[in-house]
Structure 1
């Protein structure tokens, strides 16, 4: 089946794809086993990515970024999926953290932090989830109370992508606990951060997903994102559609890769004297998987085009997130079955893909929350 070219692609993005593919095949793919063992990528990977211009691709050049669009981030995500990597947390660093700073930071804050993210001097993370609050962001308990020229932060966070290496963390906290959602603000914490465990997960083994603790951490009032209290919840809601689209892009790319590697395997593997691919069940199952991939790609591409035009709404982003992650899990599970016992061995990419896929239906807002968002718009 011929490769489908996304309608939002252009010549500039083709060149970026070549650069991204070369970088990932050299700097990431050969080291995935080591990344998994150490539960994080090498810190120098961020610097090397910054040196070749792959960080903050959609941040304006005046702040050290690539001057591109969301499409540039999408190409890099697709190429990362193509090499089967789930260790490098660049989509959070460049596609989420940098855009909170770009969208809500004061000019001084943008000049101060974005060039460091773009160069790889800083690794970025955002600390939303807590031991007692995940999708329900209004239920967070971390507090940041004003004390003179500082805020004093107390609380704990968990499931923080890039948490083990982050130099800059956007912390979601209550600056006015009595005000509920209207009392939530975003504060930027730099430098020494007390970290707990790098969590031992079912998948994403090379990703430094960590616990963070804040015990009377003093942060200058100048680190309040946007310079005004109480805007955090609105800021989160405005950025979550892009986060969910990032997840959808990664999911459909992973889905396509699963179909590709499984098709190759079934054409090489023999059973009962013939190729697995020649059995009708195998061909029918792969036909279903390929169709799921094509339908999901068409929908996600449409969402990307809408986002590039500033027209992607919250319910449609939620649709893209739940649909693509659900299909990813379904198709990868079918592909594992076609691999037989080898599909359960972690030395095979399909086994790692299966383990990595499951969390996609949880983070960025659970798929059940996505359906609630969609239902409210009906």
Structure 2
């Protein structure tokens, strides 16, 4: 059953309805086979781009939708309710545009953003490395300035859309200082850029993930985003927003699993009545509903702080942790509700459970989120009070 929502405008409420219709009409009939065949639905991202979804939270002057994060995340959740790979891919694409929107020059924005936000180009985000995941400052991929070009060498692991994207936002070391990292926009056709075979994953199999290799990749110096040495700041700021995207995707995934479980429990009978009327199972479903609603509330709280221009990093980490831990619990319980059928591929809940696991890992493991939250508690003396719609304090 669709989530009950309170949208900030009539326009945003209409957008939710359009996305729900698209998900039911075009995504739902394809998802099971595409995931089984490990088929990447590139055409779906073209459609979402034409609808404005891929640039939804970015300024209209560059081709974006000009919508607050509160709206964008609820759209993302509606997609994830039906097809998690597409929702995660949308979140990653939005993440890959973040550096250019926030730190690029006006000339760079006007040259590249319209195609990126309009769906003509699909993005990927290259931060992690085989030995530098939770500690991005330990990366070894290097960019060396040679005249009007940079030459990049190294490897980037766990790249969503790796080998299928049209551009890659790459973080690379430009000095030996620990924080001497810069941000680059590398086109897919750059000579020396290649992708390893996709990872063989337990879930999100419709979303290709690969290690990207950079072997003397030469790009013009004007493809550096922001100042030299400013890449780590860009990466960390992007991750705060990206964690909200994953929180929304996890919440949508959990909602989808809950919907299947409730529908099954209403139809399946034992001892002469639907199993949803048996207290033991009814209470399990009630806990699942509470978990989904809690994740949604926390995610939207963090989004509203971001929309107000307030600090939201701690809340983003809480949202990511709560939503993904809850998704793992809800999807596991959905399998339990369906019993033996839940363990088969005849129903989607076994896929939901496999997809939920990685959400506790990427965009910073949930152990890292706990570290971020605890450090914020040690550092922050108090929280200011803001007023909705008042902008930055």
Class of the TM-score when normalised by the shorter of the 2 chains = over 0.9
Residue 42 of structure 1 is matched in structure 2 by: 41
Residue 32 of structure 1 is matched in structure 2 by: 31
CA shift at 1:229, angstroms? 0.6
Give the paired residue count: 373
Q: Distance in 1 between matches of 2:91 and 2:211?
A: 19
Q: Give 3-state SS (helix, strand or coil) of 1:180's partner.
A: coil
CA contact under 8 A between 2:173 and 2:182: conserved in structure 1? yes
Q: Distance in 2 between matches of 1:312 and 1:236?
A: 16
Residue 209 of structure 2 is matched in structure 1 by: 209
Residue 278 of structure 1 is matched in structure 2 by: 277
CA shift at 1:46, angstroms? 2.7
Normalised by the length of structure 1, the TM-score is: 0.93
168 and 327 in structure 1: CA distance in 2 versus 1, 3 angstrom threshold: same
CA contact under 8 A between 1:303 and 1:312: conserved in structure 2? no
CA contact under 8 A between 1:241 and 1:314: conserved in structure 2? yes
Q: Give 3-state SS (helix, strand or coil) of 1:141's partner.
A: coil
Q: Distance in 2 between matches of 1:252 and 1:44?
A: 24
Q: Give 3-state SS (helix, strand or coil) of 2:44's partner.
A: helix
Unpaired runs of 5+ residues, structure 1, are none
Moved more, 186-195 or 351-360: 186-195
CA shift at 1:80, angstroms? 0.5
Q: Give 3-state SS (helix, strand or coil) of 1:179's partner.
A: coil
Residue 195 of structure 2 is matched in structure 1 by: 195
Deviations 1:288-334 (A, max 9, x none): 22222223322222222212112242222111111111111112111
Residue 152 of structure 2 is matched in structure 1 by: 153
39 and 71 in structure 1: CA distance in 2 versus 1, 3 angstrom threshold: same
CA shift at 1:206, angstroms? 0.3
Residue 90 of structure 1 is matched in structure 2 by: 90
Normalised by the length of structure 2, the TM-score is: 0.90
Q: Distance in 2 between matches of 1:278 and 1:289?
A: 16
CA shift at 1:35, angstroms? 2.7
Moved more, 267-276 or 53-62: 267-276
Unpaired runs of 5+ residues, structure 2, are 378-393
43 and 332 in structure 1: CA distance in 2 versus 1, 3 angstrom threshold: closer
Matched, 1:57 2:56: yes
CA contact under 8 A between 2:73 and 2:244: conserved in structure 1? no
Q: Distance in 2 between matches of 1:5 and 1:236?
A: 31
51 and 294 in structure 1: CA distance in 2 versus 1, 3 angstrom threshold: closer
| Superposed CA RMSD | 1.9
